[in-house]
Amino acid sequence: MELFLDTAEVEEVREIASWGILDGVTTNPSLIKKSGRDFKQVIGEIAELCSGPISAEVTAMDAKGMIEEGLALKKELPENVIIKVPCTAEGLIATKELSSQGIGVNVTLIFNASQALMAAKAGAMYVSPFVGRLDDIGQEGMDLIAQIMTIWREYPEIRTKVLAASIRHPTHVLECLQLGAHTATMPTKIFRQLMKHPLTDSGIERFLSDWAEVENAGNA
């Protein structure tokens, strides 16, 4: 089971990587735009902080362009960078070619199980079903994860990992993992929320104040 960070903010990667449990990072063009920084520079810095797969997304819409962009990114960026392509027919062609060259591909913007299956057949290392964006339009995003995992269980020869994306809250993470998704990618806020419970905070407060009394009484 893998936990990925969904961000293009290098400082956020540094913080979560320092916890020692970060397995990879996903980015997309919108996150790069939000960072206000140079795409390749950001990906390069992130790839130094986390040794797991770092997804860098192509922006060409034709297979030839995607393949060229993917190969160029692989050439310029660290070894752990993988190539993210959109789930289109052109994306499938690019996935097949890049995968056959031994390059990891993450097929993104998956909204139904048939898209996931096609991407897996093309040799994707990861498929990224978007849970939150389906919830946003009134569909049950988690049903998609359940459907994909049912198919994956029927066909153990499928090696592609299911990377649950567009995660909106900690419960999404737990539900995806309960369904057997291999990976969940989430914003930094959710990583922090996964570690939080008010009873942990109040418990620490109580232990510390009791201990202070023990010390004051000279019993420590």
Please choose, out of 63-71, 116-124, 125-133, 146-154, the segment that lies near ligand E4P by the rule CB under 6 A. Answer: 125-133
Q: How far is the CB of 78 from ligand E4P (least distance, A)?
A: 19
Residues 153 to 192 in contact with ligand E4P, rule: CB under 6 A:
165-166, 185
In the chain, the N- to C-terminal Cα span, in Å, equals: 42
Distances, alpha carbon 146 to alpha carbons 49, 141, 170, in Å: 32, 9, 17
- CB-based contact 57:29 (threshold 8 Å): yes
Q: Which is nearer to ligand E4P, 59 or 219 (CB)?
A: 59
Pairing, β 54-57 against β 24-26: parallel
Q: How far is the CB of 15 from ligand E4P (least distance, A)?
A: 18
Residues 39 to 78 in contact with ligand E4P, rule: CB under 6 A:
none
Q: How many residues does the chain have?
A: 220
Q: In the set 8, 56, 115, 130, which binds ligand E4P (CB under 6 A)?
A: 130
Q: How far is the CB of 26 from ligand E4P (least distance, A)?
A: 4
Q: Which residues contact 111 (CB under 8 A, 6 or more apart)?
A: 129, 130, 133, 134, 144
Q: How far is the CB of 135 from ligand E4P (least distance, A)?
A: 10
Torsion of CA 158, 59, 63, 61, to 10 degrees: 110
Helices then strands, counting H and E runs in the chain, come out as: 11, 8
Q: Which is nearer to ligand E4P, 74 or 172 (CB)?
A: 172
Please choose, out of 11-19, 124-132, 169-177, 207-215, the segment that lies near ligand E4P by the rule CB under 6 A. Answer: 124-132
Q: How far is the CB of 158 from ligand E4P (least distance, A)?
A: 20
Please choose, out of 8-16, 126-134, 169-177, 195-203, the segment that lies near ligand E4P by the rule CB under 6 A. Answer: 126-134
Q: How far apart are CA 58 and CA 73, in angstroms?
A: 9
Q: In the set 95, 128, 160, 183, which binds ligand E4P (CB under 6 A)?
A: 128
Nearest alpha carbon to residue 85 among 112, 108, 101: 108
Residues catalogued as catalytic:
84
Pairing, β 161-164 against β 2-6: unpaired
| Coil/strand/helix, residue 25 | strand
Residues 81 to 120 in contact with ligand E4P, rule: CB under 6 A:
108
Binding site for ligand E4P (CB under 6 A): 6, 26, 28, 108, 128, 130, 132-133, 165-166, 185
